Chains A and B, each alone.
Chain A
Amino acid sequence: MPSLPTPITIADRAKERSTPRRPTGPWYSQRRQEATTAWAFISPAVLIIIGLSVVPVVWSLLLSFQADDLVTPSVWVGLDNYRALAEDPNFGQAVRNTLLYTAMYVPLSIGLGLGLALALNRPVKLVGLYRTLIFVPFVISPTAQGTLFSFILDPEFGAANSVLHSLGVSPQGFLTDPAQALLVLVGITLWSGTGFCVVVYLAALQDVSPSLIEAARLDGAGRVRLLRHITLPTLAPVSVFLVLWQTINALQVFDLVYVTTKGGPLGATTVIVYFIWEQAFKNFSAGYGAAAAYVLALALLVVGVGLRVVRGRERRRLEGATS
Chain B
Amino acid sequence: MITTAGVSQRTHRQAAPASGPRRGGIRPPFSAWHLLLAPLALIFAIPLIWLLLSSVMSDAEINRFPPALWPSGIDLGGYQYVLNNAGFPRWFANSLIVSVTAVVANLVFGALGGYAFARMRFAGSRVLLVLILATMVIPFQLTMIPTFLVMKRLGLIDTLGALIIPSLVTPFAVFLLRQFFLSLPRELEEAAWIDGCSRLRVLVRVVLPLSRPALSTVAVLTFLATWNDLTWPLIAINHDTQYTLQLGLATFQGRHHTKWAAVMAGNVITVVPVLLAFLGAQKAFIQSITSSGLKG
Contacts of B166 in A (CB 8 A): 48, 52
Which among A75-83, A84-92, A103-111, A273-281 touches the partner chain?
Answer: A273-281
| Among A3, A191, A273, contact of B47 (Cβ-Cβ < 8 Å) | A191
Q: Given the complex of chains A and B, what is the CA–CA distance between A99 and B18 in angstroms?
A: 38
Does A263 sit within 8 A of B, measured CB to CB?
no
Q: Is the CB of B31 within 8 A of A124?
A: yes
Chain B contacts of A149 at CB under 8 A?
47
Chain B: minimal CB distance from A164 (Å): 9
Measured CB to CB, the closest approach of chain A to B216, in angstroms, equals 8
| A8 interface contact, C-beta 8 A | yes
**B14 touches which of A9, A213, A245 (Cβ 8 Å):** A213
One digit per residue, 1 when the CB lies within 8 angstroms of any chain B CB and 0 when it does not, for chain A 274-298 equals 0011001100001001100110110
The tally of residues in A whose CB lies under 8 Å from a CB in B reads: 122
Residue on B nearest A1 in the bound complex, by CB: B5
Report if A131-B213 is in contact (Cβ < 8 Å); known contacts: A5-B291, A159-B67, A166-B66: no
Interface bits B14-33 vs A (CB < 8 Å: 1, else 0): 11111100000001000101
Chain B interface category by residue count: 35 or more
B275 contacts A by Cβ under 8 Å: yes
**Closest-CB distance, A275 to chain B (whole angstroms):** 10
Q: In this complex, what residue of A is CB-closest to B123?
A: A35
The reply to whether B293 and A297 contact each other, CB–CB distance below 8 Å, is no
In the complex the two chains form, is B4's CB within 8 Å of A252's CB? Answer: no
Interface check A119, CB cutoff 8 A: yes
**CB of A118, distance to nearest CB on chain B (Å):** 10
B14 engages A206 (CB within 8 Å): no
Which residue of chain B lies nearest to A204 when distances are taken between CB atoms in the complex?
A: B294
- Determine if A123 and B11 form an interchain contact, defined as CB atoms under 8 angstroms apart: yes
Contacts of A119 in B (CB 8 A): 33, 36-37, 40
Q: For the complex, what is the distance from the CA of A56 to the CA of B150, rounded to whole Å? A: 9
Most B C-beta atoms less than 10 A away, residue of A37, A49, A276: A49
> With A4-B290, A38-B125, A199-B286 in contact, is A157–B67 under 8 Å at CB?
yes
- Find residues 265-296 in chain B having any chain A CB closer than 8 Å to their own CB: 266-267, 270-271, 274-275, 277-279, 282, 284-287, 289-296
* A45 and B37 contact, CB distance less than 8 A: no
In the bound complex, CA of A227 to CA of B51 (Å): 38
Instruction: Mark B residues whose CB is within 8 Å of A.
Output: 1-8, 10-19, 27, 31, 33-34, 36-38, 40-42, 44-45, 47-48, 50-51, 54, 62-63, 65-67, 69, 109-110, 112-113, 115-117, 120-123, 125, 128, 131-132, 135, 137-150, 152, 165-166, 168-171, 174-176, 179-180, 182-183, 190, 193-194, 198-200, 212-214, 217, 224, 227-231, 234-235, 246-247, 249-250, 253, 257-258, 260, 263-264, 266-267, 270-271, 274-275, 277-279, 282, 284-287, 289-296
A-B contact pairs, 21 of them (CB 8 A): A2-B284, A38-B121, A39-B116, A41-B115, A41-B116, A51-B150, A63-B145, A119-B40, A121-B14, A122-B31, A132-B279, A139-B277, A141-B230, A147-B250, A151-B260, A152-B47, A203-B294, A259-B230, A286-B149, A294-B142, A301-B137
